[in-house]
Amino acid sequence: MLIGIDTSRVTKSQLTGTENYSIEIIKALSRIDDQDDFLLYAQTDTSPRLGDLGKNSHQKIMPFPKFWSQIRLSWEMIFKKPDVLFVPSHLVPLIHPKNTVVTLHDLGFKHFPELYSPKELVYHNWGMNFSAKHAKYIIAPSEYTKRDLIRTYAIEPEKITVIWHGFNPELFKPSDFSKKKPYIFFIGRLEEKKNIVGMIKAYAYLRKEKNIRHQFLLAGKPGFGYENIEKELNDLPEEIKKDVKLLGYIKQDEYIKKLQEADIFLFTTFFEGFGMPIIEAMACGTPVITSSVTSMPEISGNAAVLVDPRKPLQIATALSKIIHSDSLKKSLILKGRVRSKIFSWEKAARKTLEVLRKAASD
């Protein structure tokens, strides 16, 4: 069987969750499957990100300036369709095989349209609607996302398979060299959907306890509504403001180091289709506070402290409890390490391969 894969997200200059998913699931598929052939449709060379995938994997580089998926990849599908096309991120090309499988990560734009530009909303609405309608099968990263897709697009439940993401245990693990440091850590785009303002308010409440000197480190690029985040920061008292560190976009090795050394990982966003940093923090042996909404309770299980993301005082209370209780901290670290072990890219790849083969044979 020839499995075609859209690798357009693999070569993005800066990687976020969706790009990392594309990279890891393609690598894992190539590791577990030596029976099928993989044809990687690419804008540029994927080998710097994917490495050597083996003799049954080949890439076809097809440069194109704009609308690569909808024009260039569609053009390719006119002349030679693979037995099944796998699109790891959202956008099924206009012309596609009937045996097309797509991963739809989340519908955040439906729940928070005010946080997207008009151009982004048009793109997301059209692309998601087209993909939901035309894919033969859909992969969702969580049960929450599956329910959301069914509610929004009236998709038959049998069409959607939930496959949790994995993580790399060789990278995300407790450090043998670094010790925990007194800081709270967050990673993600600095935008309103991520509840950055709420977390800053929570941190300000926490710092009213005079004996707490933890810093708050936020890693990520500015996003929609960043001006409101800047205003919240500027309104902080100077002795608190100086301890809020904006790191910008950080590379993976620095991200892992920050996770390993953080006293607490704070991830109380308003919306997640999966929430990969939750399991990565747990794997690194860092206590996690996350939200009691969308997919986050499903992914964190009983291994994190769940809070209402709209209540900064509740978030601050959770932070304080962990800081002051060694027993709670140790319990969360142990539960997190155990919880993280159920997530695996190999498991995800095996389940994905089942869906791809089903699409080709039905």
Query: 């785009």: which residue's tokens?
Result: 189
The full length of the chain comes to 362
Helical pair 276-283 and 326-340, crossing angle rounded to 10 deg: 110
Tell me: the pLDDT tens digits for 181-210? 999 999 999 988 899 999 999 999 999 998
- What does pTM read for this prediction? 0.93
User: Given pLDDT bands bounded at 50, 70 and 90, which one contains residue 176?
Assistant: confident
The band of 144, judged by pLDDT with boundaries at 50, 70 and 90, is: very high
Q: Which amino acid is at 69?
A: S
Q: What is the mean pLDDT of residues 90-95?
A: 93
* Predicted local confidence at residue 112, as pLDDT: 85
Task: Report the percent of the chain where pLDDT is more than 70.
Answer: 100
pLDDT tens-digit series, residues 232-288: 999 999 999 999 999 999 999 999 999 999 999 999 999 999 999 999 999 999 999
Query: Which alpha helices (H) appear in the chain, and where do they start and end?
Result: 17-32, 47-50, 74-79, 108-111, 118-134, 143-153, 196-206, 226-234, 238-241, 252-261, 276-283, 296-300, 312-324, 326-340, 345-361
User: In the chain, what are the domains?
Assistant: 2-166+344-361 (3.40.50.2000), 181-340 (3.40.50.2000)
Q: Can you tell me the distance from the alpha carbon of 218 to that of 203, in angstroms, rounded to the nearest whole number? A: 12
Q: ∠148-157-339 over CA atoms, to 5°?
A: 65
* Non-local CB neighbours of 180 within 8 Å, separated by 6+ positions: 261, 262, 263
